[in-house]
Structure 1
């Protein structure tokens, strides 16, 4: 068995596996374009006697965590041939990729799971969810008078990006978008946008939407204040003679739109979305900022991580009064530590998706009651979200 990055001449083998696994077909014209864009150094494969058995793509991405940018390994396109399934190829590849990410300094990894239980076995855990609304035109938010203007399809990409950055920074786990990502993964020829600009000339919000089958399909709704939110909804509501309703996708889980509607009884759905995994616990924690406290506190933490041995085992967690922390290995056994959890539980705890008391209540986090109470106090409250897909 050989695990390595693909070569440029192996484009067809990689594409054939993806087409079969994900049940799609690339046209002859798009095949040429895709080959020109192919980045073999990002695609890893398992080979037996020169034949590609399984593969995945490792994307060098960055995400927002606590108002800072963290290097993240985005895993996409995990695939294997049906005759090669349940032979350990994907498992071997995932373990290898964890080592690669660790060597690359990517302290966090994210992926969209085809099957959540499968990736949980390897330490990834659901870290965010999104809402989906279907609103008939008769239940749209009330139109309001506002100071400023909404400009349709007239914003510079840099302006949209600046607004997105400020909105995305509110959440842990949102993607830091490059201009290339905007052009290739966010905007396409069917996407319209409305940009709200205040009377002072300041851009304060935007909406990305499509008109499909007499419906407003809203891909992204970004606003910095209530004035921008109301103005953008008034702009959308002015489509009432053209559409029968609106479909809002990828809405953050902390969104309050239904409560703000005149009639909140609309169709709402909630979806577990991406999974995340801390790749290097020491690096992640030592760059994390905990809540301030009066004095230095130390507790021992046992991390269970069978697929990343550099994380697995007991550690001394020290948090300073200013919220900075250190994580130092100890020789203690599981039963001798103050706190104990898996790497997946540690991930969702620090990202803010679940609170310590919630995880402790259901047995995902165990330990001394005083240590659990301390953890509840020092881990900052946060919201998680992701508006992208890979």
Structure 2
């Protein structure tokens, strides 16, 4: 094993060949174009055996929203190894360098889509995002009966892209954890897939208030993304979807799970609905995270101990969160503390302080220890909404 290097365009052929083999990506021009486009916007880590690419990880720089703030995030994807060279700890070495690079460059979070949850927990990642999926016979799709003004128009990418960016940003304003989409990423996600259609809802003032990205293949209508700012936009786009009932046999729709579904008000609740775990998150630097965390209203000091983080050893230790009478918060990493303390792993710390799980849930499953006097205190400063993510990489 000759170490980890950051790959350039000269390595793209080997990168594509390995991704094609590992993920059964179609060996065609369109697939190559997508992977090379993403590689151009990423930092590409490779481990070589001589001149042969043995393992690779693609790290794409993004920004995400937490607590009304924009933060740097590393999206990890295309984690793959040639079976001829497996067993040498190559992915471990890449992830160690990647996470260290993230910390040195002020990247606060890392997201990834796991092929194995236990595998990525070893690096300090944990489940944060869930997704809800609907698979509905066309005759059972909930129809809109409310009359609306405005209109829905099917448009091309050039006509759609500005509305897609604007509406998505407005929909997400009150959410946590979402990707702040740059133009290049929206193009990659929604247009570089050449089979997508676009429909925009315009209100009576000809202002775009909702959109639908979808595909129709072999009698199946798939909603790729459906966003709306008003009730009228939702109902009009739903009526647009319903207009395909006689021409397709089935509708499919997935979205980030927000602890509720968009069909709760329908006369007949949908029965074929599934919720699945999806992407994982790692807080790269706990101390930096605590310094931006909104400890609003904190009246009493407490401490947090991160027991272990093998691939982020800088996170291990005790952090005192000191609350002053003036309302200021000070974060200090210490060797020991007399403050009421919460003790847990980096994974459960992430779930707790990003709003995915509660103190009560994690205590029940014995995933953390906490002094009794700190329970109510910690619960009072935790996020009130679960994070959501519409993107995948």
Q: Same fold, TM exceeding 0.5?
A: yes
Specify the alignment match of 2:169 in structure 1: 165
The farther-off stretch of 178-187 and 114-123 is: 178-187
The 1:388–1:361 alpha-carbon spacing in structure 2 relative to 1, beyond 3 Å, is same
The 1:32–1:98 alpha-carbon spacing in structure 2 relative to 1, beyond 3 Å, is closer
Query: 2:333 aligned with 1:332, yes or no?
Result: no
The 1:325–1:342 alpha-carbon spacing in structure 2 relative to 1, beyond 3 Å, is farther
Question: Given the alignment, which residue of 313, 317, 323 partners 2:321?
Answer: 317
Specify the alignment match of 2:103 in structure 1: 102
Q: CA RMSD in A?
A: 2.6
Question: Given the alignment, which residue of 147, 151, 157 partners 1:145?
Answer: 147
Specify the alignment match of 2:224 in structure 1: 219
The whole-number CA distance in structure 1 between the counterparts of 2:332 and 2:202 is: 50
The 1:200–1:86 alpha-carbon spacing in structure 2 relative to 1, beyond 3 Å, is same
Report if the CA contact (8 A) 2:225-2:255 is conserved. Answer: yes
The farther-off stretch of 133-142 and 112-121 is: 133-142
The whole-number CA distance in structure 1 between the counterparts of 2:326 and 2:150 is: 42
SS of 1:12's partner is helix
SS of 2:348's partner is helix
The whole-number CA distance in structure 2 between the counterparts of 1:157 and 1:336 is: 52
Matches within 5 A, 1:7-156: 7-27=8-28, 38-39=39-40, 42-143=43-144, 144-153=146-155, 155-156=159-160
Specify the alignment match of 2:196 in structure 1: 191
Deviation (angstroms), 1:163: 0.6
Aligned residues: 387
The 1:232–1:320 alpha-carbon spacing in structure 2 relative to 1, beyond 3 Å, is farther
Report if the CA contact (8 A) 2:160-2:200 is conserved. Answer: no
The 1:224–1:322 alpha-carbon spacing in structure 2 relative to 1, beyond 3 Å, is farther
The 1:231–1:34 alpha-carbon spacing in structure 2 relative to 1, beyond 3 Å, is closer
The 1:324–1:126 alpha-carbon spacing in structure 2 relative to 1, beyond 3 Å, is farther
Provide TM-score, normalisation by structure 2: 0.90
The whole-number CA distance in structure 2 between the counterparts of 1:37 and 1:228 is: 32
SS of 1:76's partner is strand
Report if the CA contact (8 A) 1:299-1:318 is conserved. Answer: yes
Specify the alignment match of 2:384 in structure 1: 381
The whole-number CA distance in structure 2 between the counterparts of 1:193 and 1:318 is: 51
The 1:146–1:321 alpha-carbon spacing in structure 2 relative to 1, beyond 3 Å, is farther
The whole-number CA distance in structure 1 between the counterparts of 2:357 and 2:272 is: 26
C-alpha deviations, 1:56-102, integer Å up to 9, x for none? 11111111212222100111111112233233211121111110111
Report if the CA contact (8 A) 2:354-2:383 is conserved. Answer: no
